[in-house]
Amino acid sequence: MFPILQIGPAVIQSFILALLVALWLGTYLTERECKRRNLDGNEAWNVVALAVVATVLSARLVFVLQNWGVYANNLAPIVSLTPNALSLDYGALLGIIVAYAYVRWRKIPLARFADALAPGALIAIAMIAFGQFLSGDAYGMPTDLPWAVSFWGERLHPVQLYDALAALIGWVIVTRFHPRFDGQRALVAIAWYSAARLFIDAFRSEALLIGEGYRVNQIIALIVLLLALGMMGKANEVQKTDA
């Protein structure tokens, strides 16, 4: 693990650095894609900024609720944000909702903007996952597989690298994909990454469970996958009817 990186005289947390680079690069790529699709590139920065604020605040709230026993007798630390005290997967849901609301309010063509966002989002996800690997966050379950990594004296699944690899493969897929209608590229990206997370999260150690041990992350991934596939199927039917 390399939770702290020293670049010359500067010392920075590796996850924070990965997050900043991911946000900048992902937004920059989205801006370029927006311009290719005759959309206002500046809106990419606005959407991402709003989504990030909503994600961080809600991710902190979810983490506090998940660990309420730690904060119940001392509320002051709640307002202290640290990278390893955020439930980013759940926070991202509110971030997506806020971004969607802004896009609708600004009357930005949703499907075209989603297509522009997809490649940059996958690159950002890959970089964030790699940052989690460096910092030791979102670690995997114990394993004896040859590619296991050592964290805290245990050999664990490198689920962060699985996540990063899945996002990079998704990026290759969507950049080479030739959509037949606006929004198809985004739906392919969502379906691919949701399917990947459905598999990857089975090896993740940190997991919120409900019922008889069902992982919330996997349930969400399955729902999103089915929705994306359903939307693609419906859009294809519309295309056939119009033809």
- CA 85, 100, 187, 184 torsion: positive or negative? negative
Q: What percent of the chain is predicted at pLDDT more than 70?
A: 93
pLDDT given at position 86:
75
Query: Does residue 213 surpass a pLDDT of 90?
Result: no
Give the C-alpha separation, 100 to 108, whole Å: 10
pLDDT at 4 over 80: no
Query: What pLDDT is stored for residue 1 in this prediction?
Result: 65
Mean per-residue pLDDT over the chain, rounded? 88
Burial class, 68, CB count within 10 angstroms (exposed 0-12 / middle 13-18 / buried 19+)? exposed
pLDDT band at 82 (very low <50, low <70, confident <90, very high): low
Lowest mean pLDDT among 119-123, 133-137, 167-171: 133-137
Question: Which amino acid, 167?
Answer: A
Burial class (CB in 10 A: 0-12, 13-18, 19+), 221: buried
Paired with 156 in beta bridges are 142, 149
Q: Which residues pair with 127 in a beta bridge?
A: none
| Residue pLDDT, tens place only, 170-199 | 999 999 998 989 999 999 999 999 999 999
